[in-house]
Structure 1
Amino acid sequence: MKNKIFKNSISALTLFVTIIGFAQNKSSNTISLDVYYSKIQNEKNPQIIDARGPEEFALNHINGAVNFNLESKDYAKQIAKLDKTRPVFTYSIGAGRSVWLADDLLKKGFKEAYSLEGGIANWIGNGNPFYVNSKSKLTLDEYNKIIADNNTVLVDIGSKYCAPCKKVKPVLETIKAEYGEKVKIVEIELEESPQVIADLKTVKVFPTLILYQNGQIIFKKEGFSDLKKDVDVILAQNN
């Protein structure tokens, strides 16, 4: 019994480490949004797989996608429903689970399998059509009003299911504590306001940080590393 538990733990750890590795290293099967979209348009009934969790899929997804990943209990059955002779298009929150899934499909004999660079963030963030189960909490008009009504605005765009996005939060708290009312901080999550993210047509990955001053973008950053330092430098240069 102990050996079985140990083996299962090792297997889970190996899968986790492998997925993280794929997330950090772009696979040869990861393609740009333009290529991904073009290939989908060339298919009569494209095979699109959302490799996120079911709770994420229920909130929003690419039109026509089905939901499963390597950890799904019915993984084998889901794979059996697919046509190995036709392309399969995978995506996730970024490019972790989808890369691993596309690679596994190729190992299983599929002719073509592609993962979307930037994942759902890139798809919705560039205004492509998608399913959503609720109305956006923030509209584009409301967003634009916030930008117009405040001298300096720092916008954080991400998802509650995005690990790097979570690391932005304490940095934002530090910025808020130091600058106070001088910098208006706006946090936008895919799960609450997907339509405004789509309307902005400027997001390729999560997190994306945008700094406005007097209604103009003076700084845009993908990822959270050195965020505080970058904001300090930009604000010092523009004050």
Structure 2
Amino acid sequence: MKNKILKNSLSALLFLFTLAGFAQDKSSSVVLLDAFYSKIKTQKNPQVIDARGPEEFALNHIEGALNFNTKSENFEKAVAALNPSQPVFIYSIAAYRSGLLATELVKKGFSEVYILEGGIASWIGGGKPFYSNLKSKLTLPEYKKIVVDNNYVLVDIGSKYCATCKTVKPILENLRTQYGEKLKIVQIELEESPQVIADLKTVRVFPTLILYQNGKIVFKKDGLGDLKNDVDVALAQR
């Protein structure tokens, strides 16, 4: 028992030292979309890096972005092609891959590294220009029609590459079974309908959950939270 307590204490101390290290690192920072976009626009040849996998990058990305992360086979070569004295702008789906890459670049002497909070969801959801190799399956007019034609509509906006988004699926199935035709559930993935996400101009992170009643928003959640309870409470009050 004592060994277990000691082990847990050491782990906690290590975690605190790690946090302290990040707090002292002034070369890397997480910034909101508007600041990220503004900083990019000040650069003649901005160094933008998409830290997602190549399959994700092929489907959609910020125009002009390079694609690599710490696990890429060409990692060292890709880093060597960058200018460490100029700002670097990194994004992924969430902060994990972006954070790992940012840490490595700072270690290699890069003076300014910016991570986009909310990643590609924030960029496309904020209506910024992006590349996509497909046409959205769902259009904004179709989306709006679904919302107004149904009494209750729960919209799940995410990506098949988003770990947290995967945990939403069983909750949605539970709600679908519980409420049946009373609750219309719409699932929108970045890989299938990027343009409608851009047109909504309301998505900042994946997943984003929106509940409508008669075409009006009851709640919007940036992240999963306690989705089932929130839906139960909202429908019980109406």
Are 2:5 and 1:37 aligned?
no
1:181-204, Cα deviation, whole Å (9 max, x unpaired): 000000000000000000000000
CA deviations 1:72-106 (Å, max 9, x no partner) are 01100000100111000000011110111112111
Residue 29 of structure 1 contacts residue 99 of structure 1 at CA under 8 Å; is this kept in 2? no
**Inter-partner Cα distance in structure 2 for 1:37 and 1:181:** 42
Cα distance in 2 between the residues matched to 1:186 and 1:66: 33
TM-score normalized by the length of structure 2: 0.88
Match of 2:113 in 1: 113
Q: Is the CA contact 1:69–1:97 (under 8 Å) kept in the aligned structure 2? A: yes
The Cα shift of 1:225 comes to: 2.8
One-letter amino acid matched to 1:60: N
Q: How many residues align?
A: 217
Unmatched tracts of structure 1, length 5 or more: 1-17
1:125-167 Cα deviation digits (max 9, x unpaired) = 1110000001000000100110111111000000000000000
State the match for 1:130 in structure 2. 130
Partner residue in 2 for 1:139? 139
Please give the root-mean-square deviation of Cα atoms over the aligned residues, in Å: 1.7
Identify the residue that residue 51 of structure 2 maps to in structure 1.
Answer: 51
Q: What secondary structure sits across from 2:188 in the alignment?
A: strand
Match of 2:166 in 1: 166
Look up the equivalent residue of 1:139 and give its one-letter code: T
Measured after TM superposition, the shift of residue 214 of structure 1 is 0.6
Structure 1 stretches of at least 4 aligned residues deviating more than 4 Å after TM superposition: 25-28
Q: Share of identical aligned residues, percent?
A: 67
Instruction: Report the counterpart of residue 184 of structure 1 in structure 2.
Output: 184
Q: Tell me which amino acid in the other structure corresponds to 1:66.
A: L
Determine whether 1:225 maps to 2:191: no
User: What secondary structure, in the 3-state scheme, does the structure 2 residue paired with 1:204 have?
Assistant: coil
Distance 2:224 2:116 in 1: 21
Q: Verify: 1:69 aligned to 2:83, yes or no.
A: no
Partner of 1:216: 216
Q: TM-score of the superposition, structure 1-length normalised?
A: 0.88
Q: How many Å separate the matches in 1 of 2:47 and 2:107?
A: 17
Structure 2, unmatched stretches of 5+, are 1-14
